[in-house]
Every structure is written in structure tokens, then in C-alpha cells.
Structure 1
Amino acid sequence: MTTLIIGAHGQIGQQLIKVLAESGDTPRAMVRTDAQAQTVKALGAEPVIADLEDDFRQAFSGCDKVVFTAGSGAKTGPDKTILVDLWGAIKAVDVAREMGTRHFVMVSSRGAEDPEKGPAKIKHYTVCKKLADDHLLASGVPYTIFRPGRLTDDEATGNVSTAWAENPEEQWISRADVALAIAHSLKHPEVTGGQVYPLFHGASTLDEALNRR
């Protein structure tokens, strides 16, 4: 089975490519430019050039699983958040439904469970994430949703927590551990399918944290 990674050139996407390649998989990496294609190819992926803001249906051909880890980035405005994090995600879910995707892993965000409770300055972002999550939940596409906390560049530990951390200072996780959690979910859809996980740093192994219903 082939996994399509949307947002493959991002930091989590590149970490995920390396994890999957090390396990013997060759994921398909959706990127926007030839330069990005060369980067992901060197990491062990099969690149496909497509743009979330255009028609990207061809990227799904032959793929059984999809990971959506695309994001507009902190340096762009709310307009790009709407076009990428919301509308791009909605379109990806719709194509996945049409194509009969067997597992769709959405990388969402803490705060998407209730944007009213989060910081006002990023409310547009958490609203977009919530609406994208809700669209996936209602789509009928088999899913797993991760809502990671503040992302860091720390090394992978293989240990996480899916228990809500009340202290905002504890609501963080490394991008490397998010990638490991995604890879674990792709490998064990019979357990992680149909689940929405908060995802923070912690002391539980991936098996302990993600295989717990």
C-alpha cells in the first residue's frame, strides 16, 4: 500500500518520509516545486508535483493512505490559512472519499477541539483546523486525527502522551515524535482508526498511548 503525504516538504513531512523509508516504504510526497521534489526524493520518497490551491487529484492515484500535514505557516496571513489549512484539507478529504482512501491521517492542532478557549491571536487558525477536522469526521473516510501541542525541534524519544495537559507549558511535542506517531497510526489503523488524539510529550510508548481506547 502506498501512502500519500500532503505537505511532504514541511518539517513533519520530511521527518515522516525518513521514518517510513527506514521501514522499507516508499511514500509518495506531494510538493509544489522541482527543488522540493529533489529534497523529498533524496529522503526516500516518490515525489509528485501538485498544489493544494489548484487541482491535485492526480497525486492520489494508486495511494491507499493519506497523511495531511500541510500548513500555511506562521509567516503567512489568515487568507493562506483559509486556503491551505481549511480549504485545502477539505478538498483533500473530498478526493480521498472519491478515491476510496482506506486511512486518512489528519495533523490538526491543539485548540481545534474548542477555538473559543484558545488565544484570540490564533483563533482564525484553530477555527480552520476545527472545521477541517469536522469535515473529515463527517465524510465517512476512515480517519485518525492528531492534535499536537506546540511543536519543537527536539530529537525523537518515541514517548508521548494523549492525555490533555492542563498546563499550557506542558502542551508541547517534538516534530520528530509527531512523525513517529503518524507512522505508528499508519501501521495500526485497526487500533488508531476512528480516534482523535491530543498529542504531547510524555512517558508512554506509542503502543501504550495510541493503542489505548
Structure 2
Amino acid sequence: MTRIAIVGGHGQVARHLIHDLRRSDHDPVALVRKEEYRDELESKGAEVRILDIEQQGAEDFARAFEGCEAVVFAAGGGPDGNIERKRTVDLEGSLKSIEGARQAGIRRFVQISAIGVDDPLPEDTSDVWRAYVEAKRDADAALRASDLDWTIIRPGRLTDDPATGLVSLGADLGGGDVPRADVAAVVAGVLDAPRTIGKQWVLVSGTTSVGEAIATAS
């Protein structure tokens, strides 16, 4: 059994991930900025540690990761129009997580990104969406350039539909939707799959079981 740190541990994907990690004999450690989340997350089986992604530094991240064997970056600045939080959460939160993992001696790192963030943006793209895409793009580039054992999962449009257990996973897929529950299942699965190290994959709903998709994606 290994302990997995989840940055952004109260997010919608993260809450599904806690359940999946418990089922796969891992101990999830939910890193959250509000004490009020503790009871809910502990009831799901997570250890809860307080970490303010925006206000604390890499050294604090390293301390929050103590005793963990892997880090999942599942944080996001939210769907609102706050451009600044796209930088401070989606980008700087990832950068501090990467450095914190290195300081803590943790090699395994899985990042939840977004589909299409390397594609050129249309001229009429809103400032908020541009800030979000650029933050995710730069965070992925920083992780790829690190010496960590990384995997980047880039889901399509997220939905709250029930899990299907059927996905498409690969480096070059078209767009599509995917339930948050299926994203969590894939993240939980790649953590234990050495072949996924150094892979950046798009994830959308499909016809292949999660386990088979992880075993065969290229």
C-alpha cells in the first residue's frame, strides 16, 4: 500500500480519485486549503492535510508530501473569470508541486491537464480561456522538462455523467467528452503502470476498458 498526495484534493475529479485509490489499496492524502473540507474527505477515506496552493511555497509543498510515494496534481483555478487564479493555481501550483516533489524525494508525478492546450488559439479567444490554456500548456511543459517519472493526462470536456469504464486514451485523439469519474479511474490506473511514465495522453470516452486502454495506449 502506498500513500498518494492529491494536490487540489477537494476538486471534483479528486473526490472520485480518493474512492478509486482506496479500492486499489492506496492511501490518498488530500491536500486542501480549507479546514472545513476535512470531515467530508475523511469520511471518503482520505487523510487530510492543509496546503494553500497560492500562498505557500515549494518547501511547504514538500512538507505536505512527507511520507507519500507519488503526487497527483488535480488542482484548477475554477471556471470563473479570475484570470489571475489561472496563473497562481493552474501554473504556479503545478510548478510548486513539481519542485516540492523533488525536494521530498518523490519521483512519481501524474498531472491532470486539458485537451488541446498546445494548439494555436483563435484570435477571438477570451482572455480568461487564453489564460487557462496557457497555464496548462506551460505547466505540462515544465513537468515534461523535469527529471520526475511523469505522466500527463489531458481529458476532453469534463462531464458529471456516471462512470462508464470505457475510454479512448492516446497521444493524438480528436475531441470529445469524458466523465470526471472515468478521468479519476484512469489516473488511479496509470499510477501503478510503469509503461505510462514519460507519456502524455489525451483522454475521452470510448469503447476500451480503462485497464486495457492504459495497457495499450501509444
Structure 2 residue aligned with 1:37: 38
Cα distance, 1:116 vs structure 2: 2.9
Q: Which residue of 1 aligns with 2:48?
A: 47
Aligned to 1:110: 115
Root-mean-square deviation (CA, aligned residues, Å) is 1.6
How far apart are the structure 2 equivalents of 1:159 and 1:153? Answer: 15
Q: Percent identity?
A: 38
2:164 aligned partner: 157
**Partner residue in 1 for 2:23:** 22
Q: What TM-score do the two structures reach when normalised by structure 2?
A: 0.90
Change (3 A) 1:81 1:154: same
Does structure 2 conserve the Cα–Cα contact (< 8 Å) formed by 1:67 and 1:106?
Answer: yes
Provide the residue aligned with 2:68 in structure 1.
63
The structure-2 alpha-carbon separation of the partners of 1:86 and 1:154, relative to structure 1 and needing over 3 Å to count, comes to same
The answer on whether the counterparts of 1:37 and 1:49 sit within 8 Å (CA) in structure 2 is: no
Matched residues, number: 209
Secondary structure of 2:203's partner?
strand
Cα displacement (A) at 1:207: 2.6
- Report if aligned partners of 1:37, 1:47 keep a CA contact under 8 Å in 2: yes
Cα offsets for 1:79-121 (capped at 9, x unmatched) = 0111000111111111112222121000000122224369712
1:4 aligns with 2:5: yes
Residue 90 in 1 paired to residue 91 in 2? no
* Runs (5+) with no aligned partner, structure 2: none
Q: Is 1:131 equivalent to 2:132 in the alignment?
A: no
2:85 corresponding residue in structure 1: 80
Partners of 1:113 and 1:146 lie apart in 2 by 13
Q: 1:181 aligns with which of 167, 182, 186?
A: 186
CA distance in 2, matches of 1:76, 1:22: 36
Displacement of 1:209 after TM fit? 1.8
Answer whether contact 1:30 1:59 (CA < 8 A) is retained: yes
Match of 1:203 among 197, 200, 207: 207
Unaligned 5+ segments in structure 1 are none
Distance in 2 separating the partners of 1:181 and 1:83: 26
What letter matches 1:64 in structure 2? Answer: E
Cα distance, 1:92–1:210 mapped onto 2, change above 3 Å: same
Matched residue, 2:14: 13
